[in-house]
């Protein structure tokens, strides 16, 4: 794989970037969000306060957090709600009786993402669902149908996503594509993953890997590459499967290929697919694990075939 690594590095140096137009929607009122005393900032006070909580109090806190995930204030949305949820779920203190209703609420928020005109609800529901999915990866509690439901929800959200805003100095993160990729990554890491679920994850990634509506600048391509890399490690797809999947990301018959440098849509697709394939190619070549060789070779083949 050394030859491919050198080739990927050369292609990376030649890759171009572009900047998308900004979007500035009005800020609408967010759902009521209550921050308990001592929990606004993750510091020693936060740790002491949560450590003193009994299981029922922790469960109540966890289930209250979805209401804060679309708050326009990044210190509340990201700094309090998401960070608190992540820390509590990663501390193995949440029971299935807490996790299942949390999952249900977050899935409902993701399905109603468009109801938040500020664009925070969907991305942060997806990011929170990634944490829920992680708990099942560590200690299985979901059924196969529940795992498939999470992947399908990610697919549906990505299929309808047109707000590509990443980070704002004043509003913080949205990052819908990357956050949903994180959910898909957690699913791709799950030892219980089936071949059908692996195919569903790849179908979801394909929706945005080469999108024509926006040129990524906030690391989305690398985040989309992560579930692909972890699927490669699962050894559920053959080298032929990987070649076919990467080829289908921009098939030879696509009319945009003929106007690759004379169309905004084509240039966006070219930029995004190059960044995505490069992320996979370089990651595969940098690893000594031969399980990554087929996906790396398929990614390099796509790079070689781009206009």
Q: What global pTM score does this model have? A: 0.90
Distance CA 205, CA 241 (A): 15
pLDDT by residue for the chain (307 residues), tens only, comes to 544 444 565 555 444 444 344 444 455 566 789 999 999 999 999 999 999 999 999 999 999 999 999 999 999 999 999 999 999 999 987 999 999 999 999 999 999 999 999 999 999 999 999 999 999 999 999 999 999 999 999 999 999 999 999 999 999 999 999 999 999 999 999 999 999 999 999 999 999 999 999 999 999 999 999 999 999 999 899 999 999 999 999 999 999 999 999 999 999 999 999 999 999 999 999 999 999 999 999 999 999 999 9
Sign of CA dihedral 159, 161, 164, 166: negative
Which residue in 177, 262, 187, 253 sits closest to 215, CA to CA? 177
Q: Where are the domains of the chain?
A: 2-10+40-305
Of 292, 287, 274, 298, the closest CA to residue 10 belongs to 274
Residue 22: per-residue pLDDT: 46
Cβ-contact 195, 238 below 8 angstroms: no
What integer pLDDT is reported at residue 16 of this predicted model?
43
**Cβ atoms of 42 and 83 closer than 8 Å:** yes
3-state secondary structure 158-223: HHHCCCCCCEECCCEECCHHHHHHHHHHHHHCCCCCCHHHHHHHHHHHHHHHCCCCCCCCCCHHHH
pLDDT at 27: 56
Q: What pLDDT score was predicted for residue 9?
A: 52
Q: Which residues contact 227 (CB under 8 A, 6 or more apart)?
A: 181, 184, 185, 187, 188, 201, 205
């Amino acid at each position: 794989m050394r030859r491919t690594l050198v080739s990927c590095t050369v292609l990376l140096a030649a890759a171009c970037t572009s900047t998308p137009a900004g979007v500035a929607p009005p800020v609408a009122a967010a759902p009521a969000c209550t921050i308990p005393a001592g929990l606004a900032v993750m510091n020693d006070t936060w740790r002491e306060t949560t450590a003193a909580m009994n299981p029922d109090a922790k469960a109540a806190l966890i289930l209250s957090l979805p209401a804060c995930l679309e708050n326009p204030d990044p210190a509340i949305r990201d700094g309090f709600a998401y960070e608190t949820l992540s820390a509590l779920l990663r501390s193995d203190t949440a029971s299935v009786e807490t996790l299942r209703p949390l999952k249900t609420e977050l899935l409902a928020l993701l399905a109603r993402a468009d109801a938040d005109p500020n664009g925070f609800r969907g991305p942060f529901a997806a990011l929170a669902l990634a944490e829920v999915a992680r708990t099942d990866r560590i200690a299985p509690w979901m059924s196969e149908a529940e795992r498939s439901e999470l992947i399908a929800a990610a697919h549906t959200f990505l299929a309808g996503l047109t707000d590509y805003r990443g980070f704002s100095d004043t509003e913080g993160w949205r990052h819908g594509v990357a956050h949903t990729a994180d959910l898909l990554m957690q699913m791709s890491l799950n030892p219980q993953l089936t071949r059908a679920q692996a195919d569903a994850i790849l179908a979801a990634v394909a929706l945005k890997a080469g999108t024509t509506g926006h040129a990524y600048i906030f690391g989305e391509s690398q985040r989309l590459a992560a579930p692909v890399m972890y699927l490669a490690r699962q050894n559920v797809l053959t080298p032929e499967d990987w070649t076919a999947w990467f080829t289908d990301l921009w098939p030879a018959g696509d009319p945009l290929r003929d106007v690759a440098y004379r169309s905004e849509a084509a240039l966006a697709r070219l930029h995004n697919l190059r960044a995505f394939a490069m992320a996979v190619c370089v990651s595969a070549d940098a690893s000594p694990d031969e399980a990554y060789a087929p996906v790396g070779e398929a990614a390099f083949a796509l790079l070689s075939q781009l206009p």
